[in-house]
Amino acid sequence: MSLRGRSRVRLARPGWFTVLVVALALVASACFAPGGPAVHRDLAGNPTSRDAFAWPFASSSPWNTPIGTGAQYSAPGDLRTQELVNTPAGINAAIWSTPVVQASMGDPVRTLFANDTVQLHVPASATPAGPPGGDATLAVVDPGRQLIDESWRTAWAYGNLVARFHRRVDLRGDGLQGVTAAGMSSIGGLIRTWEIQDHDIRHALQLAMPAGTLASGPVWPARAEDGFAASAYRGAVHMGSLVAIPPSVSIPSLGLSPEGTAIAYALQRYGAYVVNAAGQMNLYAEPSADPWLGSARADMRRIQAQLRVVTNNGPFSVGGGGTPLAPPAPPFYD
């Protein structure tokens, strides 16, 4: 539950051991967001509240909705399945990803010139994603921790920012607007550093597929596709497709590293949404997570072999419907 608004009840003074156990439970995640712990947990390690910067979007968002027992999966011989399992796979982090920057009131107010013109606090250290000439995506969270300014093909220019495209996104909304090719948020589904360190990812991931494996025509919750889709999309997997590992697969039997196991369980319990085209299949993690992803990258071939398209995902059957395979995201604590 949220730590704000709790009733004040006078309790007997606890002993030092009880205090220590409770304190450790509240900071069970070793990693902190700029506003405090990424999550608060109960004594069993279950998240009870979360920080919006570290774990964004509403509990009802597709990004935070678990796969359900009613999910139907593409068959092994289905062309969509074949395109999922037969392409090289990796995890983008240090480059071709999205840096997430928390701004403060002490940071200068700068102008971002794009498809619209906005003013926002931006720290001087904010660096768009590499490599040079790439997507140069950047996500800046406002000091009030309510909004994200996402930009694509971003660059510094005389103390301000210029970009090809910008979208202002509600950090506590549904996360279905943003600067990915699918029109969805670029931080939705992003593997955060604290999650890979904790080996605990409790939301859907974001996925890129080679353009040649994609089918023209986005499906929910995608709102768009690449401008070159008509000429380059020649496959069967639609932008916006939900991809997951069926519950019949035993994750422990795959022989994965702790990091790979965390990603595989996230794919089984929440899945991944196709949001971009790329040179190969890629999941996305924030750049600071890169040092912890070596083992997970080595596991990707075994993870990828288990993936299927959830064929009945939609606005009225998110995750395929039925009983969720995991608990909902907890409320925000701020």
Question: pLDDT tens digits for 105-150?
Answer: 999 999 999 999 999 999 999 999 999 999 999 999 999 999 999 9
One-character DSSP codes across 195-244: HHHHT---S-EEEEEEGGGEESS--TT-----TTHHHH--SSEETT-EEE
Locate 132 and state its tokens: 């040079």
| Whether 151 contacts 142, CB under 8 Å | no
Angstrom CA distances, 154 to 114, 126, 181, 204, 245, stand at: 9, 11, 15, 26, 35
Cβ partners under 8 Å of residue 82, min gap 6: none
30 or 320: which carries more pLDDT confidence?
320
Distance from C-alpha of 310 to C-alpha of 272, rounded to nearest angstrom = 10
Tell which residue, 273, 271, 269, has the closest CA to residue 325.
Answer: 269
25: left (phi > 0), else alpha (psi -120 to 50), else beta? alpha
| Whether 99 contacts 241, CB under 8 Å | no
| Model pLDDT for residues 24-70, shown as the tens digit of each residue | 333 333 456 776 789 999 999 999 999 999 999 999 999 999 999 99
Q: Where are the domains of the chain?
A: 16-55, 63-320
Distance from C-alpha of 333 to C-alpha of 155, rounded to nearest angstrom = 34
| Single pTM value for the model | 0.90
Q: Quickly count: other Cβ atoms within 10 Å of residue 330's Cβ.
A: 21
Measured in whole angstroms, the distance separating CA 212 from the mean position of its chain's CA atoms is: 24
Name the pLDDT band for 293 (thresholds 50, 70, 90): very high
Distance from C-alpha of 57 to C-alpha of 153, rounded to nearest angstrom = 24
Q: What is the pLDDT of residue 32?
A: 62
| Model pLDDT for residues 165-194, shown as the tens digit of each residue | 999 999 999 999 999 999 999 999 999 999
Is omega for the bond preceding 131 within 30 degrees of 0, making it cis? yes
Packing angle between helix 294-304 and helix 258-269, nearest 10 degrees? 40
Name the pLDDT band for 231 (thresholds 50, 70, 90): very high
Segment 294-313 mean pLDDT? 98
- The residues facing 169 across adjacent strands are 148
Tell which residue, 178, 141, 180, 137, has the closest CA to residue 161.
Answer: 137
